[in-house]
Copies of this chain bind each other. A is one copy, B any other.
Amino acid sequence: MDSKLLSGTLDMMILDVVARGPTYGYQMAQTVLLKSDGALELKEGSLYPALHRLERQGMLASHWVDTEDGRRRKYYKITAAGVKALAVKRAEWLRFTRGVDGALGGANEWIVESG
């Protein structure tokens, strides 16, 4: 997959996943991989910097959790600002994909006769 496609949607997807309930980095990647049917693989080198960035921007909040088996996880939850930003990003994404589909003509081109 062209990795450049991910650019600009990563933050939105992270926010969206976290918006459904607190989770941690590794699990987010697994969730997205599963739900995208294997199409989207969030690499660590992209995911963790993005999480730090979103937290720095006040979109996410985190806290460490020590598990029983000696591991530690950094759980994230979305903030009010994050919810707001997510809505904006989803709207942008919708507008963008519609724009691309419109520019490409796409399979719907023959529906144009509306008058």
Task: Report chain B residues within 8 Å CB of A98.
Answer: 36-37, 39
Chain A interface mostly helix, strand, loop or mixed? Answer: helix
Whether A5 and B104, one on each chain, are in contact in the complex, defined by CB atoms closer than 8 angstroms, is no
Tell which of B6, B12, B39, B100 touches A95, judged by Cβ atoms closer than 8 Å: B39
Q: Give the contact stretch, choosing among A64-72, A76-84, A86-94.
A: A86-94
A82 to chain B, nearest CB (A): 15
Are A104 and B8 in contact, with the CB atoms below 8 A? Answer: no
| The residue from B5, B17, B89, B102 contacting A96, defined by CB atoms under 8 A apart | B5
Given contacts A20-B105, A105-B16, A105-B20, contact A100 B36 (CB under 8 A): yes
A30-73: CB near B (< 8 Å → 1, else 0) gives 01100111011000000000000000000000000000000000
Distance in Å: Cβ of A38 to nearest Cβ of chain B: 8
